[in-house]
Amino acid sequence: MTPATTPRRRLLAPLLAALAMFGPFSIDTIFPAFPAIEADLRASPLAMQQTISAYLIAYALMSLAHGPLSDALGRRRVILAGVAVFVLASVGCALAGSIEALLAFRALQGLSAGAGMIVGRAIIRDCFDGVEAQKLMSTVSMIFGVAPAIAPIVGGWVVAFARWPMIFWLLAAFALALWLACLVLLPETHPHERRLALSLRGLGAGYRRVVGDRAFLPLALAGALNFNALWVYISSAPAFVLNLLRLDAQQFAWLFVPAIGGMMTGAFLSGRVAGRLSAASTVRLGYAIMLGASAANLLTAVLLPAPRVPWSVLPIGLHAVGIGMTFPTLTLLLLDRFPQHRGAVSSLQAFVSLLISAAIAGVLSPWLADRPLKLALAAAASTVLGFAGWRTYRRRERRPITNPT
| Residue 186 · residue 15 · CB < 8 Å | yes
For the chain, the farthest-separated pair of C-alpha atoms sits apart, in whole angstroms, at 63
Confidence of residue 310 (pLDDT cuts 50, 70, 90): very high
353 assigned to some structural domain: yes
Is 403 a domain residue?
no
117-169: pLDDT as tens digits:
778 877 877 777 777 776 777 777 666 666 666 777 888 889 888 999 999 99
Does the structure show a pLDDT above 50 at 401?
no
Is residue 282 in a domain? yes
The Cα–Cα gap between 6 and 187 comes to: 9
| Contact criterion met (CB below 8 Å) for 6 and 132 | no
Total domain count, the chain: 1
Dihedral over alpha carbons 104, 92, 28, 235 (to 10 degrees): -10
**Higher confidence at residue 192 or residue 55?**
55
- Model pLDDT for residues 321-348, shown as the tens digit of each residue: 999 899 888 988 888 787 767 767 877 8
pLDDT averaged over every residue in the chain:
84
Output the CA torsion sign for 301, 303, 308, 314. negative
Domain at 92, CATH number = 1.20.1250.20
- What whole-number distance in Å separates Cα of residue 108 and Cα of residue 86? 7
Percent of the chain with pLDDT over 90: 33
Asked if residue 258 has a cis previous peptide bond (ω within 30° of 0), the answer is no
Burial of 89 (C-beta count, 10 Å sphere; 0-12/13-18/19+): buried
Q: Does any domain span residue 4? A: no
Asked whether residue 380 is assigned to any structural domain, the reply reads: yes
Q: What digits encode the pLDDT tens for the residues 348-388?
A: 887 888 788 878 877 888 888 889 999 999 999 999 999 99
Confidence of residue 313 (pLDDT cuts 50, 70, 90): very high
Interatomic CA distance for residues 293 and 321, integer angstroms? 9
Per-residue pLDDT tens digits for 49-69: 788 888 888 888 887 888 778
The residue range of the domain holding 80 is: 9-397
pLDDT grade for 9, boundaries at 50, 70 and 90: low
Main-chain dihedrals φ then ψ at residue 274, nearest 5 degrees: -60, 130
Q: Cα 98 to chain center, whole Å?
A: 28
Residue 306 identity: A
Q: Is residue 402 part of a domain?
A: no
Question: Does residue 118 belong to any structural domain of this protein?
Answer: yes
Give the mean pLDDT of 186-207.
75
* Element at 256 (helix H, strand E): helix 253-273
Whether residue 29 is contained in a domain is answered as: yes
- One-character DSSP codes across 257-311: HHHHHHHHHHHHHHHHHBTTB-HHHHHHHHHHHHHHHHHHHHHHHHH-SS--TTT
Instruction: Please state, in angstroms and rounded to a whole number, the distance separating the CA atoms of residues 340 and 328.
Output: 20
